[in-house]
A and B are shown apart, each in its own frame.
Chain A
Amino acid sequence: NAGVTQTPKFRVLKTGQSMTLLCAQDMNHEYMYWYRQDPGMGLRLIHYSVGEGTTAKGEVPDGYNVSRLKKQNFLLGLESAAPSQTSVYFCASRWHIGTQETQYFGPGTRLLVL
């Protein structure tokens, strides 16, 4: 049981390049989330999904797109990277039963845009 995994771990991009970050979970969770973490700003929600085939915007969606074609995978795309997208990106999936819930985070992807 690997939990939540992310690839790649680290990437350097030039301005204008594109890339896709992959998040995978093997816990059969319906809900998945993409966050970015910047110093002094906590974790900010980019996009989320409440189930296979669904996506929705979070707090900071501009410049990103997502897809959830399979329940276990949630992809985050940057079509034209900008230096402002330099950040650490975390994916999470949500377990919930009744009134109990937890978001399980992946190990993160560090992205540097030059």
Chain B
Amino acid sequence: GENVEQHPSTLSVQEGDSAVIKCTYSDSASNYFPWYKQELGKRPQLIIDIRSNVGEKKDQRIAVTLNKTAKHFSLHITETQPEDSAVYFCAAGRSGNTGKLIFGQGTTLQVKP
């Protein structure tokens, strides 16, 4: 079946460093790739997304890159801050269809002050 693999499962960085989370998807028809952030005890919230017709997208300190050939996409957070500490989920889906998303297993990011 369709699958999204996410790595690493945990990531610890010093405040101010960069963090990179990587995902690989199996469904070649996927064309929509969102990233969700879930703070402890809270609900997941969309932080950025990218579509298959774009290779990179930036929003302030976060950016996402997509390599369709390799079926691989990544989240980059620069100048990390303690409030970036959370669980991050990548997902893949076919936009415009049912909206179904397949989520990765999640990455727990800890930013040490």
Contacts and interface: CB of A to CB of B under 8 A. Distances in A.
Interface of A: 31, 33, 35, 40-45, 48, 50, 56, 58-59, 90, 94, 96, 99, 101-103, 105-108
A94 B51 CA distance: 17
A90 B43 contact: yes
A90 B43 CA distance: 8
Contacts of B95: 96, 99, 101
Contact of A44 (B44, B99, B103): B103
21 contacts: A40-B9, A40-B105, A40-B106, A41-B105, A42-B89, A42-B104, A43-B44, A43-B89, A43-B91, A43-B101, A48-B98, A50-B98, A56-B98, A90-B44, A96-B96, A101-B99, A103-B46, A103-B99, A103-B101, A105-B45, A106-B43
Given A42-B105, A45-B100, A90-B43, 17 more contacts: A42-B4, A42-B89, A43-B89, A43-B101, A48-B98, A50-B98, A59-B102, A94-B99, A96-B96, A96-B99, A101-B95, A103-B46, A103-B101, A105-B44, A106-B43, A107-B43, A108-B43
Contact of A31 (B44, B91, B98): B98
A41 B99 CA distance: 20
Contacts of B103: 35, 42-44
Interface string B77-113: 0000000000001010001101111111110000000
Looking at chain A's contact residues, is the secondary structure mostly helix, strand, loop, or mixed? strand
Contacts of B100: 33, 45, 48, 58
B23 to A, nearest CB: 11
Contact of B51 (A43, A56, A99): A99
A1 B102 CA distance: 28
Contacts of A94: 99
B85 to A, nearest CB: 17
A102 B32 CA distance: 11
A42 to B, nearest CB: 4
B88 to A, nearest CB: 11
